[in-house]
């Protein structure tokens, strides 16, 4: 693959011209930062003295924040509760210049909150407040109606499935039918237990654990990776599969082509939270900007390499992306022959 500085700049110049709909599980990420000086006398657990806290967009909302940071217009479609957390979520969305007009309120569930306690740069524990039951037929119809209202405006759809009940099989099939009819690019960040529901998508972005689980074959060797990637590509009838592999980078599988292996861009790793959100958002924004699937994978790899260097969910802007890609062009480390 030839991706030079001129081509990088050509793609970057086209960022910020598309509308992308993000459909999925909307969350709030709460971080409590502190220090540990002693063990509790009540149980053998550390006592964390909380010194600061922050709220961040999580799940599908973090994907939307990544799309916004890249310059495109996100349309965030999902379900929240009628609670204080949804108010905080709306405030955060407004701060990121993301509309909450497509967020559907469901009286039967609470807004998902993931609380992480961090001490000395280490996560001590995570506590989740959530509902995971599937949407009722009535709420699902409201969600689908809001999708249909903007389906003629969007260039791509991102399915952000965290298994919290929003991505029902019937909703997914209805959305996919419309996307195929209208030629809308569909990218899926999958939940492994739903994996085989995502048929004939444009790209699906599992990590290597999820991919191995879905195919029933653990990825340990390069041969395993090739078998799983090509096998899933055939099973799902997908246009492409991007398997993220942590410190080993990413591998892109496309119909009728040899796999492309992309070494990691990360120079330091503080927190992988939300890295998958950055991967899929950057991939889709690059596609909307005219990149090929392979070029989009390289762009997304660069984006992930930047965000894992920060604590908590993070986003990446086009100038950062451009700088990182150009650095790797100069170093000759954009792609590799071997997995």
pLDDT digits (tens, 9 = 90+) for 62-90: 999 999 999 999 999 999 999 999 999 99
Active-site position among 37, 106, 277, 338: 277
Tell me whether residue 81 is exposed, middle or buried, using C-beta atoms within 10 angstroms of its C-beta: 0 to 12, 13 to 18, 19 or more.
buried
Please determine, for residue 271, whether its predicted confidence score (pLDDT) is greater than 60: no
**pLDDT above 70 coverage of the chain, percent:** 92
Q: Residue 270 domain-assigned? A: yes
C-alpha distances in angstroms, 318 versus 15, 69, 299? 8, 8, 10
Helix (H) / strand (E) element for 55: namely strand 46-59
Q: Average pLDDT over the chain, rounded to whole?
A: 92
Write out the residue range of the structural domain in which residue 162 sits: 5-25+58-78+132-331
Name the DSSP class of 292: -
The number of distinct structural domains making up the chain is 1
The model's pTM is: 0.92
Written as one string, the DSSP assignment of 179-215 is: HHHHT-EEEEE--GGGGGG-TT-SEE--BHHHHHHHH
Nearest to 259 by CA among 267, 250, 246, 269: 250
Q: Residue 218 domain-assigned? A: yes
Please determine, for residue 266, whether its predicted confidence score (pLDDT) is greater than 60: no
Please determine, for residue 14, whether its predicted confidence score (pLDDT) is greater than 80: yes
**pLDDT above 90 coverage of the chain, percent:** 82
Q: Residue 120 domain-assigned? A: no
Q: Residue 192 domain-assigned? A: yes
Q: Residue 30 domain-assigned? A: no
For residue 13, the domain's CATH number is 3.40.1190.20
Name the DSSP class of 287: H
C-alpha angle 190-254-263 in degrees, rounded to nearest 5: 80
Q: Please list the alpha-helical segments (H only) found in the chain.
A: 5-12, 60-69, 84-95, 137-150, 169-182, 208-215, 222-236, 275-288, 293-307, 318-331
Please determine, for residue 331, whether its predicted confidence score (pLDDT) is greater than 90: no
Q: Residue 336 domain-assigned? A: no
Q: Which residue has the higher pLDDT, 307 or 337?
A: 307
Q: Does the active-site annotation cover 277?
A: yes
Q: Residue 272 domain-assigned? A: yes
C-alpha angle 295-296-301 in degrees, rounded to nearest 5: 100
Q: Residue 122 domain-assigned? A: no
Q: Are 278 and 315 in contact (CB under 8 A)?
A: yes
């Amino acid at each position: 693959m030839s991706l030079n500085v001129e081509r990088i700049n050509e793609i970057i110049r086209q960022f910020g011209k598309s509308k992308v709909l993000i459909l999925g599980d909307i969350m709030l990420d709460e971080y409590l930062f502190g220090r540990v000086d002693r063990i509790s006398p009540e149980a053998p657990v550390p006592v964390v003295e909380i010194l600061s806290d922050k709220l961040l967009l999580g799940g599908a909302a973090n994907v939307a924040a990544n799309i916004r940071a890249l310059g495109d217009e996100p349309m965030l479609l999902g379900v929240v509760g009628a609670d204080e957390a949804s108010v905080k979520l709306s405030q955060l969305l407004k701060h990121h210049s993301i509309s909450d007009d497509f967020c559907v309120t469901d009286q039967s569930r609470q807004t998902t909150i993931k609380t992480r306690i961090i001490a000395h740069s280490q996560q001590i524990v995570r506590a989740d407040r959530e509902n995971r039951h599937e949407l009722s037929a009535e709420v699902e119809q409201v969600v689908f109606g809001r999708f249909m209202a903007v389906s003629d405006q969007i260039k791509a759809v991102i399915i952000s499935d965290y298994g919290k009940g929003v991505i029902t099989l019937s909703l997914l099939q209805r959305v996919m039918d419309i996307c195929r009819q209208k030629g809308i690019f569909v990218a899926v960040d999958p939940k492994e237990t739903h994996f085989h529901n995502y048929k004939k998508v444009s790209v699906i972005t599992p990590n290597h654990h999820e991919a191995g689980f879905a195919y029933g074959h653990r990825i340990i060797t390069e041969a395993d990776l090739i078998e799983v990637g090509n096998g899933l590509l055939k099973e799902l009838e997908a246009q492409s599969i991007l398997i993220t592999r942590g410190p080993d980078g990413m591998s892109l599988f496309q119909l009728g082509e040899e796999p492309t292996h992309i070494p990691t861009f990360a120079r330091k790793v503080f927190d992988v939270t939300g890295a998958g959100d950055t991967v899929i958002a950057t991939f889709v924004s690059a596609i909307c900007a005219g990149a090929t699937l392979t070029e989009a994978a390289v762009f997304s790899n660069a984006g992930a390499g930047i965000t894992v260097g920060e604590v908590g969910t993070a986003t990446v802007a086009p100038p950062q992306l451009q700088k990182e890609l150009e650095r790797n062009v100069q170093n000759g480390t954009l792609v590799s022959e071997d997995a």
